[in-house]
Amino acid sequence: MTARWLVTGGAGMLGRDLAGVLGEAGADVLAPGRRELDVTDADAVRAAVAGRDVVVNTAAWTDVDGAESEEAAATRVNGDGPRTLAAACAASGAVLLQLSTDYVFPGDATAPYPHDAPTSPVNAYGRGKLAGERAVLDLLPERGYVVRTAWLYGAHGRNFVSTMLGLAERHATVDVVDDQRGQPTWTRALARQLYELGEAAVAGRAPAGVYHGTASATATWFDLARAAFELTGLDPERVRPTTSEAFVRPARRPAYSVLAHERWAEAGVAPQPHWRDQLAEALPTMTTGTAAPGGRPGA
C-alpha cells in the first residue's frame, strides 16, 4: 500500500516540489500551506496528522536576518512547530521528516560535517532550527528523521539562482561572494530524496535520526553564479568575486556549509547528484527573481 503523506508548508518552494514528486509517484498526499495549517496550533496539527503515515515538515520561518531581531517569533515556528508535529506523530504512529539546516553548525570546519558532528549555531535562525531538531529526536526516537539541507533553489520561490539571472538582465556585471562554501541544492532533487526516505522509513528500512540532504560536491556562491550564467548562454566573466565583508548583514553566515552524506547508504537511498548536474536540469524550470544572498549588481 502506498503511504499516505502530509506535507506542511505545501505552498513553499520545497513543499510544492515535494507535493509534485509525490503526486507523480501516485501517493496520497495533502500539502496545506501556512494559511491552511499553522504548525504551532496543536489541535489543527492533530487533525491534519490523523490518518497520515508520513509527515514532512517543510513549514519554516526562512527570514534568516529577520530572526535576529525576532528570535522568539522565529523559534516559535522553527522550534515549537516541530515539537507540536512530533507530539502529534507520537500519538498517531506517523513517521516525521523534519527539514533542518546547515546553520546548526558554526561553519568553521575544513571537512564535511558528519551527521553526528557537534552543533553550535552562529545565528538566531540556526538556534531555532536546532531546537526543532532536538524536539523531533526526543519525542520520536524511532520514527523521527531530521534532514538538514542548505543553499536551496527552485522554481517556486525567490532564491539565489533566479536572482542572479534577474540581475543579469539588468546589469553588466554582478559581484558575488567567493568566501562561503556549500552545496547548492535543487528543491526537486531534495524532494525526490525525501520521497525515497519516507517510503524506506515506513517499510522499516531506514534508521531514524539525522541525514544530510544536499547536493554532491561543493561550490561558492561565486561558482554557482558563474555556472548559472554559463549554462544559460551568458558570459560567466560578467560575474566578479568579492568577499563576505562586502555584504554586512544582521545574521552571521557560516563560511563552510559542507555536509557529509554517509548515512544514506544505511537507508538504501542514493546521495543526490553533483550540484552542477542538478543546476543544468533545474535551469529550464527557473524564472528570474529579486532577492537572495551573496550577490549584487556590479559597476
Domain ranges (residues) in the chain: 4-159+183-217+257-273
* Grid coordinates given for 214: 544536499
pLDDT tens digits, 185-244: 999 999 999 999 999 999 999 999 999 999 999 999 999 999 999 999 999 999 999 999
Residues 141, 55: Cα–Cα separation, whole Å: 15
Output the CA–CA distances (angstroms, integers) from residue 219 to 10, 138, 186, 245, in the order listed: 29, 34, 14, 19
**Distance, CA of 92 to chain centre:** 26
Read off the DSSP letter of residue 158: -
Active-site residue (options: 125, 153, 211, 256):
125
- Is 125 among the residues known to form the active site? yes
Q: Smallest Cα–Cα separation from 83: which of 136, 7, 137? A: 136
- Tell me what pLDDT residue 248 has: 85
- How far apart, in whole angstroms, are the C-alpha atoms of residue 14 and residue 17? 5
Question: What does the pLDDT look like over 85-136, one tens digit per residue?
Answer: 999 999 999 999 999 999 999 999 999 999 999 999 999 999 999 999 999 9
pLDDT band at 46 (very low <50, low <70, confident <90, very high): very high
Read off the pTM. 0.95
- Pair 279, 223: CB distance under 8 Å: no
pLDDT at 290: 43
CA distance 6 to 37: 11
Tell me the pairing of strands 295-297 and 174-177. antiparallel
Question: 101, 149 in Cβ contact below 8 A?
Answer: yes
> Is CATH 3.40.50.720 the classification given to domain 4-159+183-217+257-273?
yes
